[in-house]
Every structure is written in C-alpha cells, then in structure tokens.
Amino acid sequence: MRIDVVFGGAALTPSEVQGRVVAVIDVLRASTSIAAALANGARAVIPLESPDDAVTRAKTLERSDVLLAGERKMLPIPGFDLGNSPREFTREVVEGKTVLITTTNGTPAIANTQGARDVVIASYVNYTAVLAMLRAALRGGADITVVCAGRDKQFALEDAGCAGRYVSNVVKRLAGIELNDAAQACSLIDRKYGDQIVRLFEASEHGRALRDAGFGEDLTACAAVDSYPVIPLYQDRQITKLGPDRER
C-alpha cells in the first residue's frame, strides 16, 4: 500500500486518484468550512467551480432551502449569503440547508477527484474522525492520495502541515506502507510545528494574507483540532456526512 501527497488540486490528473481513497485538504479555509457546515446540520454541501455555477444551481432548488457561500480573493462574493469563514457556518444559519459553495482553490480540487474510490474532505477540525476512516481504508488494502489544494496550483505550507499530521499518524503500527517524497516532506513539516498549528498558519503566505484581510480569528478556528468531528464524503458531486443515515 502507498500514500502519496500531491500539491495543487486544480492541476490533479485522473491517474493520481483513480481507484484510490482520496483526502482533500484546503485547511485555510474551504475544507474547514465544509466540516463546520456538516457538523452544524447542513443537509449537504455542493462544491461548484464558479459563482455563476452556484447561482444557476440555486435556481434548480427551493431558494429557502439553499445557502450560497464562498469567496474570491478571500472575500465574500457579492449577493451570496455567506463567505468562506468557518465561523459563519453556525447551526442557526446552516441547519437543514443545502450549501452551494465556490472557492478559489478548494472546490476545484474537490471537483477534480472524479474516478476516486472514496473522497473525504480533511482538515484539523475533523482530524480524528477522518484519520480513523483513512486507517480503516489502508488496513483494507487501499492506496491513499492526499490532495493539498494549495494556492494557485502551488505548494501551500498550511495544507502540507495538515497533510503531514495525517500521514504520520495513519501509518502508525502499520508495516510496509510506502510514502512518496511529498508525503515524507509533509511529515517533517508537521513534526516541526507539532501542536503549534496557529504558528504554522502564521508562517504560511495564505495565513498571513487572511490575517491581513481581517480574518485572523479564522486561523484559530481552523486550528481547533476535532472541533467538528465529522467525516464529509464527496459522492455524486455533493458532500454529505458519514453517519447513521449514511453508511458506506
């Protein structure tokens, strides 16, 4: 079995995900916001490529059941109900709703996983739950690809650190798992920062840009390990949570 980490989800190729169990990470902030939405009772989160796609899809649904969410250049999209701050996806706002979300790097990365066996959305806020799912998959003989959405198809430190925490712990007490170089490098980054996750974020370009744009509190929210303990699964172009009403 092997674990490969790949960077720049928008540039993902089918061979990198075909038949694999895939974890998509855009820890600042899309994958965190998706976990928050599902943990707080959203019926489903539908990732869409563009704001126009989201508006078009909303027209096919009952408007009162739908929330339009997302960002461009980190800021809420004009006319949308929510931005991309996980702190906005409260139970009062999202419970029972279908969230249509479009973000710069996160939602294209998720959309590019067609052909994967299973796709899970991973972050720090749902770390232990997703780790258990990935360990079970690995024990069952699956190969895993961790897709770091990154920034503009490039490496992003915050996604690499989060991926590294998954990689380091998913292989514990399992023998003979091969890691690609990126997976090994991610483990080193996780080891460097340990539990100082906000420090990791503040060292990253995107973390600093979010702070400069007034979203400093989002760094703390995105670093809150296990605060939204859900397993968000992407299937049939929508994300729902694995649970009593949704078995795999």
Kindly state the smallest distance separating residue 129's Cβ from ligand MLT, in Å: 20
Region of 238 please: left (phi>0), alpha (psi -120 to 50) or beta.
Answer: beta
Contacts of 225 by beta carbon, 8 Å cutoff, 6+ apart:
124, 125, 127, 128, 195, 197
Choose one: 59-67, 102-110, 157-165, 189-197; the region binding ligand MLT (CB under 6 A).
102-110
Question: Looking at beta carbons only, is 104 or 113 nearer to ligand MLT?
Answer: 104
By the rule CB under 6 A, 28 interacts with ligand MLT? yes
Alpha-carbon distance 246 to 159, whole Å? 28
Dihedral (CA of 51, 52, 53, 58) sign? positive
Query: Which of 7, 23, 24, 29 contacts ligand MLT by CB under 6 A?
Result: 29
Tell me if 82 sits within 8 A of 36, measured CB to CB: no
CB of 24 to ligand MLT, least distance (A): 11
**123 scored as a contact of ligand MLT (CB under 6 A):** no
Q: How many CB atoms sit inside 10 A of residue 90's CB? A: 14
Contact map string, positions 56 to 95, toward ligand MLT, x by CB under 6 A: ---------------x--x---------x-----------
C-alpha closest to that of 230 among 147, 144, 130: 130
Q: Give the range of 28-36, 113-121, 196-204, 236-244 binding ligand MLT by CB under 6 A.
A: 28-36
Exactly one of 6, 7, 25, 26 binds ligand MLT (CB under 6 A); which one?
26
Are residues 120 and 41 in contact, defined by beta-carbon separation less than 8 angstroms? Answer: no
Q: Is 36 left (phi over 0), alpha (psi -120 to 50) or beta?
A: alpha
Distance of closest approach, residue 218 Cβ to ligand MLT, in angstroms: 8
Does 241 help bind ligand MLT (rule: CB under 6 A)?
Answer: no
The residues binding ligand MLT (CB under 6 A) are 26, 28-30, 71, 74, 84, 103-106, 210
